[in-house]
Amino acid sequence: MGSKEIADFVHHGLSNGYKQNLLLLSSYENFAKDIREYLLTVNVAQSLLGWNRNHDFQIRIEYPILHFYNNAFVESIDQSPDIFTTKIAQRRTDHSPTNALHQKIDIAIVRLENAYIGDQERTVIGIELKGPNIKTNDILDDIRRMARAMGLTDRISDNSIKFCFSGFIIEFDNSKIIDEVVAAKNVQETYVRWESLCRELNAEFPALEFSFNHSVIESIPLEMIEELHRELDSDYAEVASKTGLVISGLVEIKRRN
C-alpha cells in the first residue's frame, strides 16, 4: 500500500467534488461560488473505492474520532501464562481527546483484524478535507489531530495508523485577471508557503514526516480566452470572472523510516 497511489485518488476525488459542486450549486460557472464539503467527502470516498477494488480495507465516512484514536490498537490480548490462569490485557482508555461520538474525522480507512474478542476494526489511514477559503489554522488543527493519533503508543500493540492526509481546495482570486505567469506564480507561492509549514510541523512532531503536493483542478488563464473576449469587447470585470485557477492541496503525514 503506497501513499502516492492513495494521494492520487484523493486529488481525483477533490477534483470531482469541486466540479460536482459547480453542477449542483453554481449554475454551470467555471468557478464555484459556494462549496458543500460533504460533497468533497463523498467524492473522495467514492474515488477510494477504486483504490480498494480488492476489498482489503473498509472505507468509513464520518468516522468518530473516539474510534479513530482507540482503534489504532487492539482492544485486548490474551496474556494467560497457562491453561489454568486467565490474564487479559486491555488497551488504555485515554487515547482519544474526546468520548463524544459526534466528533468525526471525514474519512477513515480501516481493516478488520482477528483479535482476542473476534474481528476488530483497526485504523490504517485518516483523511480530513476542507473546501476553499478555509483558514490555514483550521487545516493545521486537522493535521495536528491526526499527527497526535499517529504518535500514540500502547503496550498492548503497535500503532496501526500508517499515514494520514489533509486535503483542501485553494481558489485564487478571480476578481483579477489571471494569466499564465500569474497562475504559475500563485502555485509556486502556495508550494513555498506549505513547505514552510510542513517544516514547522516536522519540528513539532519529530517522529513524523510532513510533505505538501498539489494538483490542478481548473485553470483558465487569460491566454485561453483573450481573443474571444476581445471580439466581444468585454470589460475587465467580465474577463476577470472568466479567468481563474483552482488547485487541490494535500499534506501527507507518514512515519520517519
Q: How confident is the model at residue 231 (pLDDT cuts 50, 70, 90)?
A: low
pLDDT over 60 (residue 27): no
Q: What is the pTM of this model?
A: 0.88
- Give the pLDDT of residue 176: 78
- Give the pLDDT of residue 227: 65
More confidently predicted of 56 and 156: 56
Task: Please provide the size of the chain in residues.
Answer: 257
pLDDT over 60 (residue 208): yes
Instruction: Read off the pLDDT of each residue in 175-192 and give the average, rounded to a whole number.
Output: 88
- Best CA proximity match to 247, nearest among 223, 213, 196, 222: 213
Instruction: Read off the pLDDT of each residue in 24-43 and give the average, rounded to a whole number.
Output: 77
Q: How confident is the model at residue 178 (pLDDT cuts 50, 70, 90)?
A: confident
- Give the pLDDT of residue 85: 67
- Give the pLDDT of residue 17: 93
CA distances from 138 to 49, 142, 168, 226 (A): 27, 7, 11, 37
pLDDT over 70 (residue 30): no
- Give the pLDDT of residue 13: 96
- Give the pLDDT of residue 129: 97
Integer-rounded Cα Rg, in Å, for the chain is 22
Tell me the backbone φ, ψ of residue 29, rounded to 5 degrees.
Answer: -75, 165
**Mean pLDDT of the residues in the chain:** 86
Q: E-strand spans in 71-143?
A: 76-78, 88-90, 104-115, 118-130
CB 215 within 8 A of CB 169: no
* Non-local CB neighbours of 1 within 8 Å, separated by 6+ positions: 124, 162
pLDDT over 90 (residue 130): yes
Report the side by side order of strands in the sheet with 118-130.
58-64, 104-115, 118-130, 163-171, 244-255, 208-220
Instruction: Read off the pLDDT of each residue in 101-110 and give the average, rounded to a whole number.
Output: 94
Which of 29-33, 38-42, 230-234 comes out lowest in average pLDDT? 230-234
- Give the pLDDT of residue 23: 83
pLDDT over 90 (residue 99): no
Instruction: Read off the pLDDT of each residue in 50-58 and give the average, rounded to a whole number.
Output: 92
CB 184 within 8 A of CB 225: no
- Give the pLDDT of residue 221: 79
pLDDT over 70 (residue 166): yes
- Give the pLDDT of residue 96: 83
- Give the pLDDT of residue 211: 97
- Give the pLDDT of residue 172: 86
Q: Enter the DSSP assignment of 101.
A: T
CA distance 130 to 248: 10
CA distance 57 to 47: 14
Instruction: Read off the pLDDT of each residue in 161-190 and give the average, rounded to a whole number.
Output: 89
Q: How confident is the model at residue 236 (pLDDT cuts 50, 70, 90)?
A: low
More confidently predicted of 209 and 236: 209
